[in-house]
Structure 1
Amino acid sequence: MKLYINTAVIGVLCLASVSASAIRNRANDKRTKEKELSEHAHNEGAEHNAQYDHEAFLGREQAMQFDHYSPEESKEKLKPIVIKIDKDKDGFVSEKELVNWIRYIQKSYVTQDSKTQWTGYDKSETDTISWEEYERRTFGDHAEEFNDKLREARRFNVADTNYDGVLSFTEFVDFLHPEDVEHMREIVVMETIEDIDQDGDGLITEAEYIGDMYPKRDEDEPDWVKTEREHFSKWRDLNKDGVMDKEEVKNWIMPDDYDHAEAESKHLIYETDMNKDGKLSMEEILERAPLYVGSQVTDFGEALSKSHDEF
């Protein structure tokens, strides 16, 4: 299981990372993707992970499609994207424009992922998917052998907001990507607890919390594990009873005061704004092009191969 850890750089980002340092991402299960901008950790130990920035800026799927552009080629392909982000055409990318772009990229991913899966089902005349069709395509002829079937059925029922026993496309999107939908948040919390809670008491202890992130039992733990132990006692277990309950888990994985797009935009501006005027010029972005699109040894985004009009 991959762990998505939001950490950031100085100032306000540090506070944000403490409040939401671990949004969980089951990368191999598209039905349970949580709200995040990349399947990669924002930091690898003490080092910032540039792959997170690539995927946040270009989109998760696109950022793995193309590679081997030279630095000059990548700059040329980045220019039309920067022009597109600059909505007011003042020659600069503001924080608001960057936030809107990252949200657009994330929404595009959710929509495209949902459409791709939607087309694979035999839908009814009313263009809906029944549980039977979903079960048949997902679990095949041996559905009874899958422990996740009841869990999937529970989520299916919650997504079915009009209680007609089938999912429309909108409900199907909520089923696949529940983290941004208010009426689906409780199911995300419940599934997270079920994944981590080893003794089945509905609570998450520090040992379970750390064990999910770092299953090894080394006597000499890495510093980041020690930091997460501190975070558990200080920021996760808010009522100091030694465990995380449902509300504390919800505050951990979906904090009300944390916005991924805003945090990532602040980070990119901090790293790129050379003259510290709070906005980014084309020159500043191109100077730090590897931060956005990688290098010759990194996979690049499909967005770099698109024309200006395709966005």
Structure 2
Amino acid sequence: MFVHSADGDSFGYDKRLLEEQHFNASDTDGDGRLNLAEFHDFLHPADSNNPKLQQWLCREEVWERDTDRDGKVSYIEFVNGLFLSIRSYDEESYGYSYHSDDSKKAYSEFMFSQLDKDGDRYLSAIELLPIIGKVHPSWRYYARKQAEYFVSQAQVGKYGRLNLNEMIENADILYAAIFRDEFF
């Protein structure tokens, strides 16, 4: 994936090789063709349970975040990219909020050190595996968030459930994601 010059100095990534790795990771039976399930995983790797695709997502993430093209993610590259994804996910899921810039820095350093298993102060693709689901949430995650939002908008009692009357009375809210405005 990372291309080296003749003298051994690295100079960039081979996007075609990354795409080939994506295809090969999706081709679970190794026949050189994608069946329907494999093609679905190819299109939606974040929804796949295929460990090769999860590893490919990690390599792709390094490719996208590695601004100095050294084949790994430094702390600065982490803070300017991956950490923003993890932080917003953690704030949403756990209600974590920062009180100062110092606590943001401390939290980013803590997260980086937790991921940097070999202690080399860089993150490799394999070290991103524990957070890849936060960086690339599945469609199920988005569907759940959308459902939670619409329920919160339509329910009267704010108790986390909808009854039939609430659904009928708030049909415009519930079906807004499906139908255009002219249907209401």
Bucket of the pairwise TM-score, normalised by the shorter protein: 0.5 to 0.7
Q: Over the residues paired in the alignment, what is the CA RMSD in angstroms?
A: 3.7
1:153 alignment partner, SS class: helix
Q: Give me the TM-score of the superposition, normalised by structure 1.
A: 0.36
Change (3 A) 1:246 1:177: same
Name the structure 1 match of 2:163. 281
Matched, 1:232 2:108: yes
Name the structure 1 match of 2:63. 194
Change (3 A) 1:243 1:263: farther
In structure 1, C-alpha distance between the alignment counterparts of 2:49 and 2:32, rounded to whole Å: 20
Count of residue pairs brought into register by the alignment: 139
- Structure 2 unaligned regions, length at least 5: 1-12, 83-97
Checking the alignment, whether the CA contact within 8 Å between 1:237 and 1:248 is kept in structure 2 is no
1:280 alignment partner, SS class: coil
Change (3 A) 1:243 1:277: same
Which amino acid is the alignment partner of residue 180 of structure 1? D
- Deviation (angstroms), 1:187: 0.6
- Deviation (angstroms), 1:195: 0.9
Checking the alignment, whether the CA contact within 8 Å between 1:160 and 1:167 is kept in structure 2 is yes
- Deviation (angstroms), 1:269: 3.4
In structure 2, C-alpha distance between the alignment counterparts of 1:291 and 1:204, rounded to whole Å: 42
Checking the alignment, whether the CA contact within 8 Å between 1:237 and 1:244 is kept in structure 2 is no
Change (3 A) 1:263 1:234: farther
CA deviations over 1:171-221 (Å, ceiling 9, x no partner): 2222222122222111111111111022344432232134347xxxxxxxx
Checking the alignment, whether the CA contact within 8 Å between 1:269 and 1:278 is kept in structure 2 is yes
Change (3 A) 1:244 1:288: farther
Percent identical among aligned pairs is: 23
Matched, 1:172 2:54: no
In structure 1, C-alpha distance between the alignment counterparts of 2:15 and 2:115, rounded to whole Å: 32
In structure 1, C-alpha distance between the alignment counterparts of 2:42 and 2:132, rounded to whole Å: 18
Which amino acid is the alignment partner of residue 132 of structure 2? I
Change (3 A) 1:237 1:281: farther
Matched, 1:304 2:179: yes
If asked which structure has higher relative contact order (CA below 8 Å, sep 6+), I would say 1
Q: Give me the TM-score of the superposition, normalised by structure 2.
A: 0.55
Which amino acid is the alignment partner of residue 72 of structure 2? L
In structure 2, C-alpha distance between the alignment counterparts of 1:165 and 1:254, rounded to whole Å: 27
- Write out aligned runs for 1:121-160 (5 A): 147-160=14-27
In structure 2, C-alpha distance between the alignment counterparts of 1:273 and 1:209, rounded to whole Å: 40
- Write out aligned runs for 1:98-137 (5 A): none
